[in-house]
Amino acid sequence: MAESITITDNRTGQSLEIPFENGGISATAWSKLLPGVWFFDPGFMSTAACESAITYLDGDAGILRYRGYPIEQLAEHSTYLEVAYLLLNGELPTAEQFEAWRHDVTHHTFIHENVRKRFLEGFHYDAHPMGMLVSAVAALSTFYLDAKEIFDPESRDKQIVRLIAKMPTLAAAAHRFSVGMPFVYPDNSLDFTANFLSMMWKTAEPRFDANPALARALEVLFILHADHEQNCSTTAMRTVGSSHADPYSATAAAAAALYGPRHGGANEAVIRMLTEIGSIDNVAPFVESVKSGSGHRLQGFGHRVYKNYDPRARIIKRAADEVFAITGKNPLLDVALKLEEIALSDEYFISRKLYPNVDFYSGLIYQAMGFPLEMFPVLFAIPRTAGWLAHWKEMLDQDSKISRPRQLYIGEDARDYVEMADR
């Protein structure tokens, strides 16, 4: 059987045979037969915008792998920093490589005093920490002028280390500011997650030692959120990066894309939804209101790619039990479980293949650990930075074209300007 497809332009009778490559069809080949005829694909429902060797996702089978390694194995055995190395470099590090990487990240966690004192402290007292993070990441580009040297491998690696290392510091600084607490400097004797928790929660004690089980739970959440192939924020990263902007500017764009409730803001929206539902008795009427087209969606449900249980949601559900054993059960858990039970047996959700996604249970854990709702998308942005940068690096190495889609123009035909008095 030929591994190709033949298309015929019925206006001219001309045909063209195009081979399948990696499960896709080259649009450049189509264009040879149909110059000036564009694919109409809003939201990229059927478009592969790049080739990538980073993350494999089979939405029907519920499979997620980073560089070939199943997410379940990474969540069980690995650490966030090791996963970040894997995503960025393609292979798991040796002990020596890991030690050098851990050392580099640990020693780039400090931020310039001006970023904190003059920039972050200039925000209004009730600024959303995600807005602060997006702006602060963009501002970093003005502190590292060498970041523009995106084709200098040494400079590129330096910015990657800086970004991964400084995200938790910026995130915690945004939180401390929003609650009126003094900034906590990074503690280089702590590992990545424990250091972040120290910057979040430390008060008067000389050293903050996070509960190891909670630090591990956060680590697992960071691993699960580290990459997810061409999601909205990664697409923003690749798109902005394709103009050869510096990585801080591109990461700020990616973080801005993550902010929205359809993407990284969904974990915050889930808790608001569960709080609004309030009790198990209200779950069934809420589900009915979603189905009746009230405009409400079931937050934390559905996914563009997963048409099966999101494998990350399964792992998070288990992690939730471990966290609740320490923090006490989040009272919203029962509402969430009931909501899942009702939705998964309802024809509306079954026929549309709507399952809980990564955000459905992650917010319950974050809340039980004491993070305010506004920090939830920030907690997503910290680990996703590794994925964004891996894609940015891959895109630059592919010598890709600038992202510049076409449009189908549906506006007015040419017409003459009318003076204001005559309108």
Binding site for ligand CMC (CB under 6 A): 231, 262-264, 266, 290, 297-304, 352, 354, 357-359
| Least distance from ligand CMC to the Cβ atom of residue 65, Å | 17
Q: Tokens representing 314?
A: 């399964």
Best CA proximity match to 111, nearest among 51, 198, 174: 174
| Least distance from ligand CMC to the Cβ atom of residue 66, Å | 16
> Which is closer to ligand CMC, CB of 169 or CB of 251?
251
> Which is closer to ligand CMC, CB of 200 or CB of 269?
269
Dist. CA 117–CA 130, nearest whole Å: 18
Q: What is the sign, positive or negative, of the torsion defined by CA atoms of 134, 136, 105, 175?
A: negative
- Indicate the pairing of strand 69-70 with strand 63-66: antiparallel
Best CA proximity match to 86, nearest among 49, 50, 53: 53
Catalytic site positions: 263, 303, 359
> Which is closer to ligand CMC, CB of 216 or CB of 297?
297
| Least distance from ligand CMC to the Cβ atom of residue 401, Å | 26
> Which is closer to ligand CMC, CB of 131 or CB of 261?
261
At 285 the three-state DSSP class reads helix
| Main-chain phi, psi angles of 29, to 5 degrees | -65, -45
| Least distance from ligand CMC to the Cβ atom of residue 303, Å | 5
Axis-axis angle for helices 333-344, 358-368 (nearest 10): 170
| Least distance from ligand CMC to the Cβ atom of residue 18, Å | 27
Closest chain position to ligand CMC (CB): 302
Provide the 8-state DSSP code for 208.
-
* Residue 40 vs residues 231, 256, 406: alpha-carbon distances, Å: 19, 26, 9
> Which is closer to ligand CMC, CB of 115 or CB of 167?
167
Dist. CA 402–CA 186, nearest whole Å: 38
